[in-house]
Structure 1
Amino acid sequence: MSLEHLKNKLVKQFLCATQISAVHFDEMTDTDVSLILDLLTHDTLQNFPLKTPYVAKFLKKMINQMEKKENELCDEIYYKYIELIQKDPNEGPFYKHYAFNSDETDEIKSILTIQESTSIVSHGTTGLCTWQAGIAMACWCLRNKHLLDNRVIMELGCGTGLSGLSACINCKPREYWFTDCHSAVLDVLKNNIQVNQNLHTFNCKFKVVQLSWDNIGDVKLNYETKPDLVLAADVVFDQNMFDPLCDALKWLMMNGTTEIYLFCTQRNPETFKTFQEKLKSCNLNFKRDILPDNYSILLQQDCPIYVIHIK
């Protein structure tokens, strides 16, 4: 993809399948239309396609907006739309593509390609989709590289792997451990790692570990090999998981040097309040910050996203 593509806001939103309702089609230009049409035949989207119904809805919105402005459209966009609505909507797998900017400049540091489920809940888990707090954590890694440099990092509930891939490719940790308890999630994760290894250079060693928070000690760690840094995103939505999660966090903190960052989307204020009370009852001292609005074009911040730092 050209720099012209990657500096375009609409293109970035299209590539990561931003919700149609969050895209400002009223600001669209003829250049935007040309760039999107050019992308549809690009090798990346041919090999790792976006969800077919999403692309069809996106093109339909583009067509409606340009017709509303009485702008002339090329026949190609109509032909492409008709082709898409005639395709099997479930003929996957489907992917999303996240273009990450450097914090200091507009330079694109990486485009990470992530296979995701077409359903929010699949195989009994929500871990086959990338959630907003996970995207936020991936952006945060890029903006806080100094906190990751030369450190052993464990991610709890890594899901599709976006945050960990951002850390491994955009930062320089000493080692990164992707952990999750679901076999189906780890299968998708391994595929995402392989896809991105073919596209990028990894800056650290990594391993994939099947891990349940109930059995955190099963990873056979001792004080010397426990991680320096623990990361997790969107792991506090289910109150039934608060006890095993906090027990795992306490165990990881036993060496006195491990730091923990939890990225939490506050969908239900009461649930989030209950989790913080649980942390206090476990003597896990923490600071809480909220991410600013418009933290990244890749994010849809319908709900506040908090960062809990336990040290």
Structure 2
Amino acid sequence: MTQYRHQMKYIMSLVERKDVLKRQALLTDIMHQHKAHDQRFQQMANCKRREAKIREQPRDSKIRLRAQRYVSRFQQQFQSAIGLQQEQGGAARDVQLADALDVSSAPDACDRHEHRSGVGLLPQVGSLVAGLDGDEFRDAVLRLLFHLFLSPFALRCPPPPRYRFRIIGDIIKKLEASGREVPELAYHIHGQLSSAADADRTDGHVVYQLTETAVVALWEDRRLMAADTTGLRTWQAGKALLDWYLLRPEAIQGRRVLELGAGLGLTGLALCRTCSPASYHVTDGHPLVVEMLKYNVLKNLELAKDDLPVVDESACAAFVSDAPASAPLKPRGGPADGGATCVGDLRMTLDGTELRAGTLDWFTFTAEEAGGLDVDLVLTADVTYNPELHEPLVRTLRLLLDHVRRPPEVLMALTDRNEGTTARLMAELAVQGLKPRLLATPANNQSSFLMDEVSKVKIFQITRIPDLPAA
């Protein structure tokens, strides 16, 4: 206010001296200052109103709105294993039946490669099921129940209990609403799932169908954060990095790969099953994530050895012919039921690739450890969301580039969720003498995992900044 009085006093002196130009310039400047002040005041008022509105919302509403933002991306229908075989006889009826029951409206939507125990969300193919009736319709329902809950693969890799319970409930509701007879088996399955002690759990197997014969089964927790970590589910950047090599299998065939922050192992296991690297070392630094990673490695080795089909038509035909009114659901198994893994690193061979799973702590990683690694490709995906991890991560990459006998190629996939976080990462790379080169964005990386501009996934190649020549 004192400054304002001085300005007005000066203006009056200009009036007395009849200095019109200076007076007009000063008045214009004062008007701009007041306009900027009004704008800042309005922004602060709007911000306070928004905060007050959020505080007034019930807690459940805020959680629901937050969940809807994340789920909305994935609520599209994609091809599943049954969809791939929809032209092969009875599988086509399962797809038609799922359309009639509107199973695709189930809450857990999946990516094109992802489904639950060989069924997932089936694509809409029109209302062709209208012609099915009587025993024909009953058989189609039994086939669907078999593939969802009772096939050998579904029993070996059961999906999350909450998912199974909501799916069977949705099937029963749609059948009852349509006036069709609900098979006794559906009620029996619903009863078993509703009375289970773990009916509300969100962790279980998620199966990724890579090709008609190659699948990867992961034990995941579908929550965004579980057990104080985000590493118990797969994320978009890891899927984008996987797609980068699925489209270029020759770029990784025969390579010796180290993956940092591998999480549950989708990228590594899928590349081992489809692209034949010479060796692959999957690592993470969180103890619980490492245990889940080892479990997933052992589970997929077991599935590869047994060569269990995702869709077993002969077993399905025998099941439908028996038309049982009840069938026990096998306990869900998994790490929580004694599936503990070995102490130390896990070493094995998967589809001809030497696979190793274990711990690599960026905070304690040393030059000696880097020098003892035999790798020519380093991969990492979706590990830059926390700025506190930037320094140890980048330092680890620098040690690998400096001390591995032959400097490896380094690829980093990240989701650009926050411009400030990404800028801090780029600054840390520069401090450590590294530079990123953008290789792919959703616009130029064709993907089966819904990589679009909204996901903001980018893939960088990380190299050392060459030393400047002496002056």
Q: TM-score range by the shorter chain?
A: 0.7 to 0.9
Alignment CA distance shift 1:3-1:99 (3 Å)? closer
Q: Which has the higher strand share?
A: 1
Q: Which residue of 2 aligns with 1:247?
A: 395
Q: Which residue of 1 aligns with 2:157?
A: 48
Amino acid at match of 1:303: S
How far apart are the structure 1 equivalents of 2:169 and 2:303?
31
Alignment CA distance shift 1:294-1:71 (3 Å)? farther
Choose which of 194, 197, 201 in structure 1 pairs with 2:298.
194
Alignment CA distance shift 1:63-1:219 (3 Å)? farther
1:100 aligns with 2:210: yes
Q: Which residue of 1 aligns with 2:437?
A: 287
For residues 9-158 of structure 1, the aligned pairs below 5 Å read 13-15=114-116, 30=129, 36-39=144-147, 40-61=149-170, 70=178, 72=180, 74-75=182-183, 76-77=185-186, 80-88=189-197, 89=199, 94-101=204-211, 108-117=212-221, 119-158=223-262
1:185 aligns with 2:300: no
How far apart are the structure 1 equivalents of 2:171 and 2:249?
37
* Sequence identity percentage: 23
**Partner-residue secondary structure (3-state), 1:278:** helix
**Partner-residue secondary structure (3-state), 2:364:** helix
Note the aligned Cα RMSD (angstroms). 3.7
**Structure number with larger C-alpha Rg:** 2
Alignment CA distance shift 1:67-1:214 (3 Å)? same
How far apart are the structure 2 equivalents of 1:202 and 1:96?
21
How far apart are the structure 2 equivalents of 1:238 and 1:34?
47
For residues 289-308 of structure 1, the aligned pairs below 5 Å read 289-292=440-443, 295-297=447-449, 303-308=455-460
Choose which of 414, 420, 427 in structure 2 pairs with 1:270.
420
Cα displacement string for residues 16-60 of structure 1 (whole angstroms, at most 9, x for unaligned residues):
799x9xx68776765997764331211121122101111233344
The alpha carbon displacement at 1:119 in A equals 4.4
**Partner-residue secondary structure (3-state), 2:407:** coil
Q: Which residue of 1 aligns with 2:356?
A: 207
- Could you tell me the TM-score, scaled by structure 1's length? 0.79
**Partner-residue secondary structure (3-state), 1:221:** helix
Alignment gaps of 5+ in structure 1: 102-107
Q: Which residue of 1 aligns with 2:41?
A: none
Cα displacement string for residues 190-217 of structure 1 (whole angstroms, at most 9, x for unaligned residues):
1111111122242211222311112222
**Partner-residue secondary structure (3-state), 1:242:** helix
Greater relative CO, 1 or 2 (CA 8 Å, sep 6+): 1
- Could you tell me the TM-score, scaled by structure 2's length? 0.55
Amino acid at match of 2:396: A
The alpha carbon displacement at 1:136 in A equals 2.8
* Deviates most, 191-200 or 131-140: 131-140
How far apart are the structure 1 equivalents of 2:453 and 2:194?
30
**Partner-residue secondary structure (3-state), 2:281:** strand
Is the 1:261–1:309 Cα contact (8 Å) retained in structure 2? yes
Cα displacement string for residues 219-244 of structure 1 (whole angstroms, at most 9, x for unaligned residues):
6232x844211111110100111111
Q: Which has the higher helix share?
A: 2
